[in-house]
Amino acid sequence: MGKIKSAVITAIVTLATLALFLFGVVSCALPGGVNRYNSILANIHLGSELSGDAYAVLLPDGVITAEEYDFTVAEDSEGTAGDKAEEYKETYVAAPGGSFYVEQALLDNLTTDGNADTAAERQAAFSALAAKVYSDSDILAERFGDRNLTSYSVGVLGSYAIRVAVPTNFTYAAYSGDNTNARQQDFNTASTAISYLTLGGELTLRNNDYGVRDRVSAAETASGATTVTRNILGAAYKVEDIIKSASYYAMGGSYAVKITLTENGREQISRLSAIIADTEQSSDQTIRFYVGEQSIINLTCDSQITGSSFYIQVSDEATARNYASLLDSVATGNALEYVYSYDEVIYASAAGGENTAMFVAIAAVVVLAALIVFSAIRYRALGLTFSLIAVLFSGVMIAVTYLMGFTLTVAGVFTAIMCLMLFAGSNFFSFEQIRKESDAGRTIQAAVKQGYKKTLSGILDLHIVLLVISVILALVCTGTAAGCGLMLLIGTLASYVLHWFTRFMWYVTMGPARDKYKFCGFSREAFDEDE
């Protein structure tokens, strides 16, 4: 290849690589100091170990914390208790452990005779309450697990409350305060997931006009509302006998909840949707999905539903996943025993500290810098060519992670670093084989050809094995493991493709060099011909 052509190609690739890398990792204030450019890396969502959790403490109706009880019954400086002090003293009983108080009426409902007066009956009622709370925590764990989060936690506090936590998924720009709007949006998304997935009560299908049973919420009754929603299923039917499953569905940027019906459900929904779709029989053409007294999602019946499944479109991915996880749980008979409430969703910073994300990024940069220094020392100008492609590899991984919408976790970062090491190892393996061929007396051109030929099988086998592993992880696992599988898949593909691009760039950049051996950092006795 001519010197001019080599120089032009090298300049183009170098400028494109540096531009991708700089836009990928460098954030800076824009002229004027008002706006700021946040890099591609700064706009990738981070897992909980990098950006923290959003959590809430759920209390069953009829259970309060000891702090609330003590605050209500406490006397002020004049020795006067609050207005509700006597009511609380008469209504609530201290639970074992002293951290919670439980309504006497709730304990009475947990006894066989409806009266928990004796110490033994109260103890049995407290045990029954704790058992139901633990059972509900298991159901919540399944819901959050189905939500496809990178991580989550569900735990029982003091036997009578449940703590749930989900990742905030802040981008680094939001986490560091450089994008406050995105921070609030991400936190709202996490809070919404908690609010929906912790809803208690059974699933009912309702309509404002047609139905076999009237349903009116306590809030509607208190406000004097005249609108009554009606359960469209008769008392002989349970929702779990009608709906087989609910699942998340996405296609072409649209998101929906897919409802799959049982054979009996297909018949009933076909019959009921025909009635509701008929404007002469019903003025409301909507089937409303309620969990407890909370309206979740609506299906508009323009015509009769005859299939074994149907789709309800929603606005975004997070909403579709929330609805699908909740509806699948309650439709398959896993409704919560109690209705839970919480004061607020609270932010908890990353377990490893506020600077965990920065330290992980520094670790990745150190690995990249170490590879660049090693390759430059070991292979001279060829090492610089490899370094350029290593920087390109890093930029590609950052860009693809952003474009694919991945949530970056510590495990994901180290998977990406492992892929970078795979790329480096593949190239160094080929380089060393070429060195051996050169030492055997071959010209550089012949040594390169033979070296790549001899290492092809090993490199190809290694990449195929890793591809299979990555596909299995992505398809079989969930959460962090699935994310690592996708990261490994992308990194392995990028490693193999750029391995051959490195060979091409070696050919391009070596062209103008007078001493090919010195360019590659090889030393050998002079040979004029191949062996």
Give the pLDDT score at 31.
78
Q: Which residue in 404, 416, 474 sits closest to 148, CA to CA? A: 474
Enumerate the β-bridge partners of residue 34: none
Q: Which residue in 70, 143, 49, 144 sits closest to 356, CA to CA? A: 49
Cite the DSSP H helix spans in 168-262: 172-175, 180-197, 218-223, 239-242
* Cα–Cα distance measured from residue 499 to residue 505, given in angstroms and rounded to the nearest whole number: 10
Q: Which residue in 431, 406, 404 sits closest to 506, CA to CA? A: 431
pLDDT digits (tens, 9 = 90+) for 344-390: 999 998 877 888 888 999 999 999 999 999 999 999 899 999 999 99
Contacts of 226 (CB under 8 A, 6+ apart): none
* Cα–Cα distance measured from residue 190 to residue 35, given in angstroms and rounded to the nearest whole number: 27
pLDDT digits (tens, 9 = 90+) for 388-417: 999 999 999 999 999 988 889 999 999 999
Check whether 130 has a pLDDT greater than 80.
Answer: yes
Token representation of residue 120:
């033994």
Average pLDDT over residues 448-469: 94
Average pLDDT over residues 126-152: 93
Mean pLDDT across the chain, nearest whole number? 88
* Cα–Cα distance measured from residue 362 to residue 372, given in angstroms and rounded to the nearest whole number: 15
pLDDT band at 77 (very low <50, low <70, confident <90, very high): very low
Q: Count Cα neighbours of 8 within 13 Å in the Cβ-side half-sphere.
A: 5
Task: For the chain, report the end-to-end CA distance as a whole number of angstroms.
Answer: 25
* Cα–Cα distance measured from residue 193 to residue 177, given in angstroms and rounded to the nearest whole number: 23
Cite the DSSP H helix spans in 404-443: 410-439
- Whole-angstrom CA distances from 290 to 20, 231, 232, 446 are 49, 10, 12, 73
What is the helix (H) or strand (E) element at residue 288, kind and residue range?
strand 286-291
Average pLDDT over residues 141-164: 93
pLDDT band at 2 (very low <50, low <70, confident <90, very high): confident
- CA dihedral 88→90→94→99, nearest 10 degrees, is 0
* Cα–Cα distance measured from residue 377 to residue 385, given in angstroms and rounded to the nearest whole number: 12
| 218: amino acid identity, one letter | A
- For residue 205, which phi and psi values (nearest 5 degrees)? -110, 125
Query: Is 378:520 a contact under the CB 8 Å cutoff?
Result: no
Query: Is 146:117 a contact under the CB 8 Å cutoff?
Result: no
Query: Is 386:379 a contact under the CB 8 Å cutoff?
Result: yes
Check whether 219 has a pLDDT greater than 90.
Answer: no
pLDDT digits (tens, 9 = 90+) for 473-498: 988 887 788 889 999 999 999 999 99
Contacts of 231 (CB under 8 A, 6+ apart): 204, 205, 206, 211, 212, 213, 214, 215
- CA dihedral 446→451→456→461, nearest 10 degrees, is 170
3-state secondary structure string, 26-41?
CCEECCCCCCEECCCH
Token representation of residue 180:
């406050």
* Cα–Cα distance measured from residue 290 to residue 202, given in angstroms and rounded to the nearest whole number: 8
Token representation of residue 31:
């002229």
Of 195-199, 229-233, 323-327, 488-492, minimum mean pLDDT range = 229-233
- Considering 21-30, 201-210, 347-356, 496-505, the range whose residues carry the highest mean pLDDT is 496-505
